[in-house]
Structure 1
């Protein structure tokens, strides 16, 4: 007999959906076979946690379990009528009638019990299996292939669609628990979490990036190489570009529904890493004849 799913996940019966998900993720990460190679106890624990979460995460199944209609494995519990209940439904044979046991409708009771069992559908769909997958930002952006190791050590090939985001669930049909009889197998439901990138920042469907720019390129303009999640591209910087100016690369953002966002490039003026005497001398002489625009702006405040 399967253990109480609430006990398996270490939660109370009034647990919220969010806390239920948190408890499952914590245990699944701790017991995952990839982190416990060769540990049969951890493997069995991982299976139990996945089964418990599959039941409690489904509102309908959870309600059925709480009412005692299904057991911890999700199987229906047969309801057997009591003699008094049967008698009360049968007005012609009251409980404790003068005619004895025959008034209980005993034959009807057993007929109902065995009739219900005989009518039970021997075919039942398999349970869905739930997994969690962490992706690098570029992998989620561009899409690709990943292989998951299941609790039974089998491999599951997962296709990552371009533009995959944190919180998205990938469904692999037929890759869940086996069905009973002619029942179809369940699905594998893979919840995705995308790790942040040190350079690219995602805001909606758009990518934002800071681009270091030399003094020469800021003054004279020209073509510069700009990183994008799909690879570097060439971009034109206008002459006299100020630090903080934002340029747009159309269509270089995240994919959603067949369309793509944009990439916004913020220019960050960068001086040479080593002091340049010639540049310093030039600026010193130039500043005596040309009032600095920033100083002028400060004086107007």
Structure 2
């Protein structure tokens, strides 16, 4: 991500955590690669995901706003650090470095890294070594996982930039936009500095059958005309397998039934019924309905008001 993360999400710097999340979800729904094939949409989604990953963490957001880190979460060079150290009154090495008030700190850094290898010792003064080290950069990636893996948890393999494969554990109930930290899997450090970390921002692919709100799972269940009228037990999919759901007599489209504890981590599964007509109305059914209507007809639109 390059540029302003607030602009990438379309919010102001005063946006609340809830507004950040809402903005990210809106962009994900519109520009996710699985939902929008436009390459420009993929770039917008990628930028928004990186921006949300940075700003949803209060500490990172504060440090970014303060200019301590950049939009990628990397430390910004503190240009006065070495000068302040050299000019300190109690620094016995101040004069040996040759820094003065007008020193060009860009040249200092260039000289430092140009003359010292990453694995060598740092400054020497009077034959005494001082170790130089710098922690490696953190790397950030976006990882798409399928709906069921996010809901139930599981493992997946990724390939890091160095070519190594790594098995990643996806926690049960992982959500869209959640970040997983892979300790020491970022860029290599300098000298005795350790490697950085890798951060995976998850995007959860939509499922053709289930959808999720919090820890609740939602499913639309088609039922036949006879099942709607007579009721009965109907095999119903859940994220953990098929269960028998009791359909009450006289069920109708839009009616909702609950399967307690069949969601994620104690959540429920909400089942919305959808009555389906038979693929063909045969003469026997037609004759029966003609006879039935003569003495049992009703108006399902009686409560509607037409006109002004």
Match of 1:201, SS state, is strand
Going by fraction, where is helix more abundant, 1 or 2?
A: 1
Size of the aligned set, in residue pairs, is 230
Q: Does 1:132 align with 2:142?
A: yes
Q: Is 1:68 equivalent to 2:79 in the alignment?
A: yes
The answer on 1:78 being equivalent to 2:82 is: yes
CA distance in 2 between partners of 1:18 and 1:136 (Å) = 29
Q: Is the 8 A contact 1:147 1:158 kept in 2?
A: yes
Give me the TM-score of the superposition, normalised by structure 1: 0.63
The correspondence for 1:294, drawn from 267, 285, 300, is 300
Give the structure 1 partner of residue 277 of structure 2. Answer: 271
Shift of 1:17: 4.5
User: Which is further off, 160-169 or 171-180?
Assistant: 171-180
Which runs of 5 or more structure 1 residues have no equivalent in the other structure? 1-8, 23-49, 70-76, 90-106
1:50-83 superposed Cα distances (whole Å, 9 cap, x missing partner): 9xx99x98622339637535xxxxxxx732899x
Q: After alignment, is 264-273 or 113-122 more displaced? A: 113-122
CA shift in 2, pair 1:190/1:141, >3 Å? same
Q: Does 1:142 align with 2:152?
A: yes
Aligned-partner Cα distance in 2 for 1:180–1:197: 44
> Is 1:199 matched with 2:209?
yes
Structure possessing the higher radius of gyration over alpha carbons: 1
Question: Residue 234 of structure 1: which of 244, 251, 274 is its match?
Answer: 244
State the partner residue of 1:93: none
Alpha-carbon distance in 1 for matches of 2:177, 2:197: 18
The answer as to whether partners of 1:81 and 1:109 remain within 8 angstroms in 2 is: no
RMSD: 4.0
Change in 2 beyond 3 A, CA 1:133/1:16: closer
Residues 64 and 189 of structure 1, relative CA distance in 2, 3 Å threshold: closer
Q: CA separation in 1, counterparts of 2:288 and 2:180?
A: 60
Match for residue 19 of structure 1?
8
Question: Are 1:122 and 2:122 an aligned pair?
Answer: no
Length-normalised TM-score, structure 2: 0.62
The SS at the match of 2:149 is helix
Give the distance between the partners of 1:300 and 1:221, measured in 2 at CA. Answer: 33
User: After superposition, what is the alpha-carbon deviation per residue over 1:118-147, rounded to whole angstroms, capped at 9, x for unaligned?
Assistant: 786534333222111011112211221111
Q: 1: distance between equivalents of 2:249 and 2:139? A: 57
List 4+ stretches of structure 1 deviating above 4 A: 111-121, 295-301
Aligned to 1:216: 226
Most deviating of 173-182 and 201-210 = 173-182
Are residues 1:251 and 2:278 paired?
Answer: no
CA deviation vs aligned residue, 1:84-113 (integer Å, no higher than 9, x gap): x89xx8xxxxxxxxxxxxxxxxx9622786
